[in-house]
Amino acid sequence: MLLDALDSNWVAPVGPDLDAFEAEVAALADRRFGVALSSGTAALHLALLELGVQPGDDVLVSTFTFVASANAVTYCGARPVFIDAEEATWNMAPDLLEEELAQRLHATRPMPAAAIVVDLYGQCADYERIVPILERYRVPLVEDAAEAIGASHRGRPAASFGEAGVFSFNGNKLITTSGGGMLVCDDERLATRVRHLATQAREPAPHYEHAEVGYNYRLSNLLAAVGRGQLAGLDERIERRAAIRECYRQVFADGAGVDFNPIAEHSTVNHWLTCITVDPEQAGFTADELRLHLEAADIESRPLWKPMHQQRAFAEFRARLDGTSDRLFATGLCLPSGSGMTDAEIDRVMSGVVEFLGRRG
């Protein structure tokens, strides 16, 4: 598709692949509209702006996430308020969300202007509980499904919840355009406004006319062609990642104290990354010891996302915590999970783990 796009001479910011990519991704998310952008972060930023987030506003954000979710809030001059994760999905805990909102009713704190709820490691948050809570308090929802394309919650696809959903096509994601993202939504006005802001807010006129400040956030037609090619193989990629998880499960099957990232009932996941948590008392080793062993064998594994409330960049902001994300960060590890891994590469990781477990007796 990339070569077709080159041949067709649409080496320009707009073109048929861009339109088709938007329609295909929107359909996957069961949304009416898609706006292809230069990154998932850009999509979060424009979603918040268009939902009316103003400087000084509070925006609720999952604390257990990649930094982009929180950065987008600060780009608007707003203040993230971090909510801890739940064990069942590792995503925003509905109980803590409810507590935070209920407390504001009785305090003088204004209601948050929006909430960014993240679907971490390829699994949707518990929207069956989260959506009614946010609706009750009239807080608009942005679903950060950057990591979750192809996943679903109770039969509804990732990015279909709330006012807007966001995907990332960054290089490490299941579907990549090397860099890119998309905002999907059902409101035509929102899609039109986001498309306008993403193209420097240029007004329709023969000259360059601008009534407001815009951004250079549009995805190019060429990269959309890359995305379309990738999208056609989404199911195989998910299958491959599921098979990788299964391999790792077998390796750890006999070991006590090692758990995998949970898959909640009513969830289908895209297996973006296979992660484990290690209880050192039961397992007899720590996640970091395993990481260092693999590193010595030139196998890269990584700690889970460091929660935003632990980051110096966000230390000043309010957080509602119960220790879940702290524990996950302290005990967790992401194992190599790329869909492009060969069988030999998977075997090499498994051998590395087996050797490590063997040494530990």
Where on the chain is the footprint of ligand PLP (CB under 6 A)? Answer: 39-41, 65-66, 68-69, 118, 144, 146-147, 168, 170, 181
Question: In the numeric block, which tokens belong to residue 18?
Answer: 């861009």
**Block residue for tokens 């499960």:** 249
Cα 122 to Cα 227: distance, rounded to the nearest angstrom? 18
Nearest distance, CB of residue 10 and ligand PLP, angstroms: 23
Q: Which is nearer to ligand PLP, 334 or 353 (CB)?
A: 334
Least gap, CB of 188 to ligand PLP (angstroms)? 24
Least spacing, CB of residue 130 vs ligand PLP, in Å: 16
Rounded CA-CA distance 145/154 in Å is 15
Distance (Å, whole) CA 361 – CA 347 = 21
> Which residue, 146 or 231, has its beta carbon nearer to ligand PLP?
146
DSSP 182: E
- The nearest distance, CB 95 to ligand PLP, in angstroms, is 22
Give the nearer residue to ligand PLP in terms of CB position, either 175 or 278: 175
Question: Toward ligand PLP, which CB reaches closer, 121 or 252?
Answer: 121
**Which CB, 66 or 317, lies closer to ligand PLP?**
66
CB closer to ligand PLP out of 66 and 82: 66
In angstroms, rounded to a whole number, what is the distance separating the alpha carbons of residues 308 and 92? 13
Q: Select 41 or 283, whichever has its Cβ closest to ligand PLP.
A: 41
Question: Closest CB to ligand PLP belongs to which residue?
Answer: 40
The alpha-carbon radius of gyration of the chain (Å, integer) is 21
C-alpha dihedral, 98 to 159 to 189 to 187, nearest 10°: -80
Q: Name the residue type at position 60.
A: L
CB of 69 to ligand PLP, least distance (A): 5
Pairing of strands 181-185, 164-168: antiparallel
Provide the 3-class DSSP secondary structure of residue 147: coil
Instruction: Give the nearer residue to ligand PLP in terms of CB position, either 96 or 118.
Output: 118
CB of 181 to ligand PLP, least distance (A): 4
CA pair distance 278, 291, nearest whole angstrom: 11
Fill in the DSSP letter of residue 137. T
User: In angstroms, rounded to a whole number, what is the distance separating the alpha carbons of residues 74 and 80?
Assistant: 7
The token duo for 277 is: 């948590």
> In the complex, what is the shortest distance from the CB of residue 39 to ligand PLP, in angstroms, rounded to a whole number?
3
Smallest gap from Cβ 298 to ligand PLP, in A, equals: 25
Instruction: State the Cα–Cα distance between residues 304 and 328, nearest whole angstrom.
Output: 7
**Which is closer to ligand PLP, CB of 65 or CB of 268?**
65
Neighbouring CB atoms inside 10 A of 358's CB total 8
C-beta of residue 243 within 8 angstroms of C-beta of residue 196:
no
Residues 6+ apart with CB under 8 A from 71: 41
CB of 173 to ligand PLP, least distance (A): 7
Choice between 81 and 182, CB closer to ligand PLP: 182
Specify burial of residue 14 (Cβ count, 10 A radius: 0-12, 13-18, 19+): middle
Closest distance of CB 281 from ligand PLP, Å: 31
